[in-house]
């Protein structure tokens, strides 16, 4: 069984979309895969409640309890590695995990560490993507699923979805339109990875 570990920091809407898709599409039977755990760096992350309701193992690792990024990432890796299965290393999925990961962590999970970013990368890496797209006069915005590399919001693109930027858009209305596409393409991109 291929185990998927999802890392969150907040509401976990992308995590929930992945879990629901895995259940609906029978990933366990069709792909030999399951969401095995949800880990958060915040105790009050609302996504943990949903995960527990689905019977998924949860863990909280407060990054503030560690002296350095390296110490936190080492502890996080130790938790993730508990879900490795023989011959099927865990797939690590970032779903609103608001931590910049160290190069050592990224290298450890190279090729099996996935992220979603609310822009059409390589445009607008980093924060405030929706406002930046509006300010730049973009007619289209979107979302990108990509493999994680040591360079922030770079790495091989696995999937993208495009949405229009409307004349009266605010960052919030554009973000809401993009989010609906995130919930579609993230599970699809993960299913594609699991089939390889």
Active site residues: 117
List, in sequence order, every residue forming a beta bridge with 157; answer none if it has no partner.
146
Distance CA 41, CA 7 (A): 8
ω into 122 cis (within 30 of 0): yes
Rg over CA atoms, the chain:
16
User: Is residue 111 left, alpha or beta, with left meaning phi > 0 and alpha meaning psi from -120 to 50?
Assistant: left
* Residue pointed to by tokens 């105790």: 43
Distance CA 55, CA 3 (A): 14
């Amino acid at each position: 069984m291929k185990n998927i570990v999802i890392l969150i920091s907040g509401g976990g809407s992308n995590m929930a979309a992945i879990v629901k898709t895995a259940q609906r599409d029978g990933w366990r039977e069709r792909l030999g895969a399951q969401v095995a755990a949800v880990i958060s760096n915040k105790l009050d992350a609302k996504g943990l409640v949903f995960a527990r309701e689905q019977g998924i193992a949860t863990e909280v690792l407060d990054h503030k309890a560690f002296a350095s990024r390296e110490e936190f990432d080492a502890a996080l890796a130790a938790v993730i590695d508990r879900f490795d299965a023989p011959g099927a290393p865990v797939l690590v999925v970032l779903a609103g995990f608001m931590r910049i990961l160290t190069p050592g962590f990224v290298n450890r999970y190279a090729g099996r560490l996935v992220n979603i970013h609310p822009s059409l990368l390589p445009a607008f890496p980093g924060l405030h993507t929706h406002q930046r797209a509006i300010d730049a006069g973009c007619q289209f915005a979107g979302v990108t699923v990509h493999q994680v590399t040591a360079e922030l919001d770079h790495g091989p693109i696995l999937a993208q979805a495009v949405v229009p930027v409307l004349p009266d858009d605010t960052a919030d209305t554009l973000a809401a339109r993009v989010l609906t596409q995130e919930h579609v393409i993230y599970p699809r991109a993960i299913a594609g990875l699991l089939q390889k």
